[in-house]
A and B are shown apart, each in its own frame.
Chain A
Amino acid sequence: MNEILKGILTPAFVYSIIRVTTPILFAALGALITDLAGVINIALEGIMLTAAFFGVLVSAFTQNMWLGLLAGVLSGVGIALILGYFSLNLKTDLILAGIAINLLASGGTIFLLYIFAGDKGTSSSLKSLVLPNINIPILKDIPILGPMFSGHHILTYIAIISVVIVHYFLYHTPLGLRLRAVGENPDAADSVGISVIKIKYIALMLSGIFAGLGGVHLSMGYVSWFARDMTSGRGFIALAAETLGGRTAIGTTLGSLVFGAADALSYSLQAFRMPSEFAQSFPFIITILALGFYAQQQISRAKKRKAASRR
């Protein structure tokens, strides 16, 4: 036990938390924007997976990592638009459309992987690129803090900046205000001439961008290849992180960190001969416990509110 603690309480462990939190945080920001606009984006998983694939594919064929990043993000937006078309224009059930998109992304990327890489498992035969890590001057030389916060993947820093941008976008811009109004009371927004469907499309596209960045981080940073179903539930965990964070940008970041920490812990525990099946289930156990706790709080808060209104 002591040994485990020693292994965990190191700068390297904090570094690893930040690293594994990155894709969850991106997706969770996407979840936040759509949720506030009144669209539960259950297709985040498929968006991430598609972006991860196209990032690898385009970077391998163009040998330009930035084009890879762009392709990944654009494919994420494309998938989000498909969800928008089905749920907003054709009025299909949002959850069903989301599930269909996730299945399409899973099967579709394996199919394309086989065509382009000749393998149904990984893209190791493709010479894809990764985006760089960045050392931050001065910070990198500070003991303890340096190894924790410097030398991260470029997208990790973009994720941190994104939190601030999303916060300002949601709470300090006219579009953010309209987006929240649409999510909470579409009739009210409609009655003052705001196009509800347009706002929801914008929200979906933004969530496609962020979840797409998360996907690209997985295949062009976290590892340097694409593997089938490599998102392994991060899109769903992101929804949980957003809910747990109380639907705010800062809260969503903290929620993502909780799951990132659970994820990082599961890797560390594997190193200590914990059965890997158990260690890998750890983040999901945390998800269930966290959501249970959250639901409990919501219920007691609702009860209090009811009691207050009786008075």
Chain B
Amino acid sequence: METPILEMRDIVKIYPNGVMANKGVNFKVMPGEIHALLGENGAGKTTLMNILFGLQAPTSGEIFYKGKKVKIASPHDAIRLGIGMVHQHFMLVPSLTVAENIVLGMEPKRGVFFSKEDAYRITKEIGEKYGLEVPPKERVQDLPVGIRQRIEILKTLLRGAELLVLDEPTAVLTPQETEELFDALKKLVSQGKTIIFITHKLREVKEIGDRITVLRNGKNAGEALVKDVTEEDMSRMMVGRDVELIIHKTPSKPGEVILHVENIEYTPPGHNKLLKGISFSVREGEILGIAGVEGNGQRELIEILTGLREGDSGSVKVRGKELFGATPREIRLASVAHIPEDRMARGVAALASIEENLVVDRYFLPPFSKGKFSIDVKKIHENGEKLVKEFGIKAKSSVVPVEMLSGGNIQKVVVAREFTSNAKLIIANQPTRGIDVGATEFIRNRLVDERDRGAAVLLVSADLMEVMQLSDRLIVMYEGEIVGYFDSLDGLTEQELGKYMLGIKKDAPEKIKEAVVS
């Protein structure tokens, strides 16, 4: 049998905060193939590739390159071996020209001066050699994403890369650019290069992949030749099944419409359109779930709804009040609670105490405010102690800084605040990500309690179990659009939902319009 160009054996990676991202992963790549590394977000793909490229040190495990055991301590080592990486965020200097970016660090010289002519020539030659034409004299900042990606690929090739790693290369590309990229990749393989392609888009794997390795939850979940498996097989390997938690839930009794979202459009500067006319509504006493693989516009949608990001157009009405473009405080005062996706960045002030974090949205209101210019420290402390007990936050007292707590307890601080604001609308984005089973179960049950109290709940989660267990109605987002709508989850299987999430299946527009109820 042929020697693999790359073999990673029993790779374990434990981060300093205790998260185990790789739990003994084995990964083998044969020379001259396009190997797709598949898995959901958080499955450990990026960690594995960062270890390969020397950006992170593995806790344990071995790497063999061309049959020899190697140690890769820095990107420099990786480049020297012939491993090139095209990152999701391009490593380019926007104000420099294409040629300058390509030769950076190995500049051609004439005397003491940098030779632009030689740089242009080198760029042109390498571009022609690999069929990746780029305009050498243009500034990178003036070029579209597809060209920038080519520049990145050329950079690695000029440095002698034999094995190219592309981290979700199509995420930022238009369909045409994707086609061009695939043609280029096929050409590279025909010239003897090997390619590792990180993705979660199965269609693309089918189109250009030779072999796949699937990761799930930091472990190997399967390996196959692409021609032997269907997209359904791959999605089953990716999604799998988690531990089942017990959630007590009765059928919902929806009342009047609380949140009405209409035609939200958003294009981030310098990117493709990210949200393409999102419309739905949520009634009191029900949980509307948004399922989808991460990165399909959910984050931006929630940030627009909560005033953290400025959308291009659309309407967001809460109990009839227009809140599109309103500030986060205006939105919160309109009886909206928000459990943000990134609890450390948006959910808490890490250095402030638990009790302070519990009133950041209401310190200026009675009973915590005393007149206009002072706050009632005693009331804040009482409130803190009460909520620490009620929500079972494991801390010595409510004056402990939040950063001393574990992830699950920090999240409990966030939900303790958001669930006690008596909001009519609760927007929960990945409310149980990365926390322990106990805290997860607690938070899920509390979300149902809030629903039964009469709150409207909008739940975004990449965790299939979570959306399926909690939601009364469900929409699925894919590439900035709602591609599926379910007014009841009875009989819906994970496999079926997975097809929508991966863009294999799509509902008719009439069906999707039903997500707006009145």
Contacts and interface: CB of A to CB of B under 8 A. Distances in A.
Interface string B74-108: 01100100000001001111111000110011110
Interface stretch (B109-117, B292-300, B408-416, B460-468): B109-117
B75 A180 contact: no
Interface residues of A, number: 22
Given A173-B112, A174-B109, A309 B270 contact: yes
A191 B112 contact: no
Interface stretch (A182-190, A230-238, A254-262, A264-272): A182-190
Given A177-B104, A180-B95, A187-B91, A192 B114 contact: no
Nearest to A181: B93
A207 to B, nearest CB: 20
Contacts of B270: 309
A172 B114 contact: yes
A192 B105 CA distance: 6
Contact of B92 (A172, A174, A178, A185): A185
Candidate in A187, A188, A306, A310 with the most chain B CB atoms within 10 angstroms:
A188
Contacts of B79: 193
Interface residues of B, number: 27
Per DSSP, are chain B's interface residues mostly helix, strand or loop, or mixed?
Answer: loop
Nearest to B85: A191
A188 B95 contact: no
A188 B87 CA distance: 10
Contacts, number: 65
Contacts of A168: 113
Given A176-B114, A188-B93, A309 B269 contact: yes
A189 B105 CA distance: 7
B76 A193 contact: yes
B100 A188 contact: no
A58 to B, nearest CB: 31
A202 interface: no
A306 B104 contact: no
A251 to B, nearest CB: 15
B119 to A, nearest CB: 9
B211 interface: no
B159 interface: yes
A194 B105 contact: yes
Contacts of A172: 113-114
B104 A184 contact: no
Interface in B266-323: 267, 269-270, 312
B343 interface: no
Contacts of A193: 75-76, 79, 105
B200 interface: no
The 6 A-B residue pairs with the shortest CB-CB distance, nearest first, are: A192-B105, A174-B107, A188-B91, A191-B91, A309-B269, A181-B93
Interface of B: 75-76, 79, 87, 90-96, 100-101, 104-107, 109, 112-114, 155, 159, 267, 269-270, 312
Interface of A: 168, 172-174, 176-178, 180-181, 184-185, 187-194, 306, 309-310
29 contacts: A168-B113, A173-B113, A173-B114, A176-B114, A177-B100, A177-B104, A178-B105, A180-B93, A180-B95, A180-B96, A181-B93, A181-B96, A184-B95, A185-B91, A185-B92, A187-B91, A188-B91, A188-B92, A188-B101, A189-B93, A189-B104, A191-B75, A191-B87, A191-B91, A192-B105, A192-B155, A193-B79, A193-B105, A310-B267
